[in-house]
Amino acid sequence: ETFGSEIKTLLVSRSNPGSTVSPSASAVTPVPHIDRRGLDAIGPWPTEEEAHAMLDVVIFNVGISQQLFDVRAFSDNLSVLYHESNADVRLPEIWIVEALLVFAVGRLLQGRDDENGDLPGATYFREAVKRTPLLSDLRKHGIIGVEVMALTALYLQITDRKDDAYLHSNTALRLAISHGMHRVNSSQNLRRSENVHRNRLWWSIYMQERRLCAAGGYPMSIEDYAITTKPPYEVLGFPSATALGVNVEAARITGKITTTIYSQKDDMEATFINNVQDILHSLYEVEKTMPAEYSMEIKPTGLTVAGRPFMEAPATISRTSSSLYTSVYSAVIHTVRPILLYMARNSRDPEREGSRSEVSPALVRLAEICVEAASKSLVILQELRKREILAKNAFLDLDATFSVGFVFVLVEAINPGKGLGFKGIDGSRAILRYLVTLGNRAAGNRLAELDQMCAHLALPVHRSTGQTPQESFMDLLTQTFSFSSGYGNIDLDPQRASAGIDNAVTGADGADNRHEDAGAAAEACNDVGQHDFGFSGADLASIPLEGENSLYWVYHTPGFVFTGVEQTDWEALENQIPWGNQHEAQ
């Protein structure tokens, strides 16, 4: 709270500096520079070894699948700073701001607290905010001004300040738009290296803003039709744009999820259903066409990347591949989770009546695929943990872990007393506890929220011994999931399982034939790839939704507005259910 208050105070004071300079004086603004001796005024400046270590960890975690600054130019400036013999060497002060932000993010990803016990990198971040020019001046700095806003948003995003991160990412995007970075052929007079960086920076900011909009339930700043610049492309002599391209496509679909499912657009039923079908098909295609160097598969022997065991593949490949697949599975969860919420509401309140309370076999199967996506994500997160490349402080791994845990809480709400979600909840909690031990404060908040959800359902939250991070769930979580029988051949009482799902699938009229159809559909899906279940996700595109009018009413339940934000949607579910009569002690 103190850190956030200080930053807000800095931002407010900078926005109203009380300057008496005439408007004409700002027409030509000299670029402030700083020499090496001026760094002493900034405070403790890292050694060259520390600076490169922080840069390396930033590149490893977020510098391959997104490119928020020009790594080569940044490295060159570091070299000038530390090796140029001329004591009067001067660098633009705006670059010093960018360096401070890179150091702040690097320190955060390293998980090393500042000496005063504050958040990692907070000292660097405060200094960067203090030195950041006003918005009107920032635009005059060109591309590096866009980078500064994007890196500021990245730090805030990692520290779990998503609202503030959205504001800065939105500002970065609008600065980029003001420079024409969204348009094709807007930079014909620039060198090739500058054009390549502009293109990749644009798409990195686009991706950042799309994800923050989805995480916070905000509207997007620019529609896809207004963007004419080329997608990320390969250029000889430059780092590969393959991972960035996949991430951009996932972000584009995330934007469509936000506008289709979580906005209050009044689409016709047929239009809405077709849009959801298109989203599911697009997610299937992204996963199916994953570049060979990042292709991931689950085999009986474990997780493989590009045909090599996960633990033996290059760390950068394993880390990047994990991020790409986790992004896709998070989008699947984001798309289908309203069905789980709807089923949880029906299961806990069997008094609801009418055809809109019923969930068809096709939608039940979609809900099961959502659980399978959560299972795959958990397997990946556990492998990252075992290889010790799970980011200590990074939003994607943390958000994915909490989202997975939330899905398994909903599984327990749908089928109370059957234990179908216990493994997933335990696995998610174990990863969150591990992150807490590494100093991730946001993970502690997520763990408390997950425990509160479990307590509300009267679920035991301390079933495991705390050793589950090293325990493999592949034997269970890599099989297809069914609400009637759990994972594969899980040992459950069929009559009890049927009774549990019946309340979720049907209304109070008790359309038993719907439950039988749902079970048959689930069994049919289980027959496909039961013993060779990888990451193909074939079911995602093979479920026909044409004519599934119930889909519209599941997503447009009167009095139940879905936002896509886990905590907000959980609170809405709490308000919809008479919990007092539904708890079952385990």
Domain-embedded: residue 302: no
Kindly state the DSSP code that residue 218 receives in the 8-state scheme: P
Q: What is the CA radius of gyration of the chain?
A: 25
Per-residue pLDDT at 480: 83
Per-residue pLDDT at 150: 98
Q: One-letter amino acid identity for 249?
A: E
Phi then psi dihedrals of residue 266, to 5 deg: -100, 65
Half-sphere exposure of 56 (CA within 13 A, CB side): 8
Domain-embedded: residue 47: yes
The candidate with the shortest Cα–Cα distance to 276, out of 567, 557, 547, is 547
Per-residue pLDDT at 4: 52
Domain boundary residue, one of 212, 244, 276: 244
Domain-embedded: residue 427: yes
Residues in a beta bridge with 35? 90
Per-residue pLDDT at 34: 60
Assign 395 to helix, strand or coil: helix
Per-residue pLDDT at 44: 77
- Which domain range does residue 76 map to? 2-9+32-244
Per-residue pLDDT at 515: 40
Domain boundary residue, one of 244, 273, 305: 244
Say whether both 232 and 367 belong to one domain. no
Q: One-letter amino acid identity for 254?
A: T
Find all residues with CB under 8 Å of 133, minimum gap 6, and list them. Answer: 94, 141, 145
Please spell the DSSP secondary structure of 90-133, one letter per residue.
EEEHHHHHHHHHHHHHHHHHHT---TTS-STTHHHHHHHHHHPP
Domain-embedded: residue 38: yes
Please tell me the total count of domains within the chain. Answer: 2
Say whether both 235 and 366 belong to one domain. no
For the chain, 586 residues long, the average pLDDT of each consecutive 10-residue run is 50 42 38 61 84 94 91 91 69 92 94 78 94 93 96 96 96 96 82 92 97 92 95 91 96 96 88 95 95 89 91 95 96 97 83 57 91 94 93 87 97 89 94 93 95 88 48 66 75 39 42 40 38 44 84 89 93 75 43
Q: Long-range contact list for 315-321, CB < 8 A, 24+ apart? A: 315/60, 315/387, 315/389, 316/60, 316/64, 317/293, 318/383, 318/384, 318/387, 318/389, 319/60, 319/61, 319/64, 319/384, 319/389, 320/64, 320/65, 320/243, 320/294, 321/294, 321/295, 321/296
Domain-embedded: residue 18: no
Find all residues with CB under 8 Å of 579, minimum gap 6, and list them. Answer: 348, 456
The candidate with the shortest Cα–Cα distance to 254, out of 267, 263, 264, 266, is 263
Domain-embedded: residue 476: yes
pTM: 0.84
Tell the residue number behind the tokens 């001796």, with chain if given.
Answer: 37
Domain-embedded: residue 478: yes
Domain-embedded: residue 270: no
